[in-house]
Amino acid sequence: MEYASYTTHDAVGVIELTRPPVNAISAEVVRDLDEALDRASDPGVRAVVITGRPHFAAGADINRFKEAHEKAAGARSLEADRLGAVIRRMELMTKPIIAAVFGYALGGGLELAMGADFRYLAEDATVGQPEIRLGIIPGAGATQRLTRLVGFNRGREIIYSGRHVGAEEALAIGLADKVFPSDSLLDSALDQAAALAGGPSVALGMAKRAINEGWGLPMDQALAVEAEAFDTVFASDDAREGVVAFLEKRAARFKGT
């Protein structure tokens, strides 16, 4: 992979964007992200951290926009669709994902971060959806995910204005889950990912599925999604171990099966 690296720290997979200088999103970056997610699908990997330094991802490659306008009207739409598909894949993976955001996460970069379960920001990080300043709108899910995360009117204001949002404001409005000094951000994300990886992976995966798939459905349909996920979890080895460990008053030894 040219524009993303993949490493493992015990049961944690780490995906890092590597397209200098600002990790601008391109078709090649999306391709490498998809390949990295293939590797992270290994059953031995039980949590994932996605990051990029010095910037998480400072939006799309604007030169590609110009090329797309010159070549074909649908070219940019296809690229947005590919990024959107990778983000949706992240949401559907049955393992927790943390985005560790350094520097800028703008446009497609913020859309990518919103595909993670949690967003940890460096205290000097800046996020936003500035597409409106180019006369376009977000194309990989931000009009839906941002409004769900921060509320309809607040999400609308951020998208309409195209303004940048600092880390502390992002934390206050629910767009960030935690904020850390830049020099401790990645270690903190890895520590939390390791804690999640040591938990009952089947239960975590099914909780993620129930939350993500049930969101927005009518209550009866959402409860049916939860019931199906509960049945899957209840039949797992981890569930049996958790019950026995509780009754024996000892720490559970979850194996992710």
Q: Residue 16: beta bridge partners?
A: 5, 51
Query: Tokens 């927790």 sit at which residue?
Result: 96
By the 8 A CB rule, do 149 and 114 touch? Answer: yes
Q: Catalytic: 111?
A: yes
Tell which residue, 119, 116, 118, 102, has the closest CA to residue 17: 102
The rounded distance, in Å, linking the Cα atoms of 99 and 95 is 13
Q: Catalytic: 248?
A: no
Single out the catalytic residue among 79, 131, 157, 226: 131
Q: Residue 126: beta bridge partners?
A: 104, 166
The rounded distance, in Å, linking the Cα atoms of 155 and 132 is 13
Single out the catalytic residue among 2, 79, 111, 226: 111
Query: Tokens 């909780």 sit at which residue?
Result: 207
Active site residues: 111, 131
